[in-house]
Structure 1
Amino acid sequence: MSDITRLRSALFATLDDLRDPAKTIDLDRVKAINETAKNITDTAKVEVNFLRVTGAAEGSGFIPTYKPALPGGTSESQSTATGTKTIEHVPGGTKITHRLK
């Protein structure tokens, strides 16, 4: 389970406890949970902005990396004298990757 999934689960569990009239929950505890969640969310926003500004493909791992499948993309691999050459046909062009032995 990712950190963001754990955070959301904890927040929704707290929300359920608040809605249940049979349960009593300390208001100071609810405020602390809310403030912690806000701080965690703010750090995620900073990470997203960092990725946007730098153009980096991955961050700290807090936000899971999404790698969409390329629609209609096909690929083929060829052995070369120094390793492997992979040719991927992607929308709008071709991507060639060379892997050395």
Structure 2
Amino acid sequence: MINNIGTVRQHLLDTLADLRNRENPMEVDRARAVADVARVLVDSAKVEVDFIKASGATGSDFMQPDDGEGKQPQLPNGITGIRRHQIK
């Protein structure tokens, strides 16, 4: 698994599902801890975006496109990356 913003999103959705499970709900304190860690990750991503803007970079390892399941898509030979959005 590649850890990126998609991974954070999936963990948060899993946490929400666990909280809503009426038969075996996640402890609220644990869910709050997950949300706190996610908040720090999102804050660090915001700093990364600011750095990208300031440095003129075109992307980062953390904010990469994925296939919807948290995995990087397989690229054909000779293709080294995908750029869907460019920050200006």
Tell me, yes or no, whether TM beats 0.5: yes
Give the aligned partner of residue 2 of structure 1.
Answer: 2
TM-score, length basis structure 1: 0.58
Give 4+ residue runs of structure 1 displaced > 4 Å after superposition. Answer: none
What is the 5 A alignment of 1:1-101? 1-3=1-3, 4-59=5-60, 61-64=61-64, 66-68=82-84
TM-score, length basis structure 2: 0.65
Paired residues of 1:2 and 1:64 also in contact (CA < 8 A): no
Amino acid at match of 1:18: L
Once residues 8 and 54 of structure 2 are traced to their aligned partners in structure 1, the CA distance between those partners, rounded to angstroms, is 26
Greater strand proportion: 1
Structure 2 alignment gaps of length 5 or more: 66-81
Paired residues of 2:45 and 2:62 also in contact (CA < 8 A): yes
Deviation at 1:57, TM superposition (A): 2.1
- Highest Rg: 1 or 2? 1
Deviation at 1:58, TM superposition (A): 3.3
CA RMSD across the alignment: 1.7
Greater helix proportion: 2
Deviation at 1:43, TM superposition (A): 0.5
More relative contact order, 1 or 2 (CA 8 Å, 6+ apart) = 2
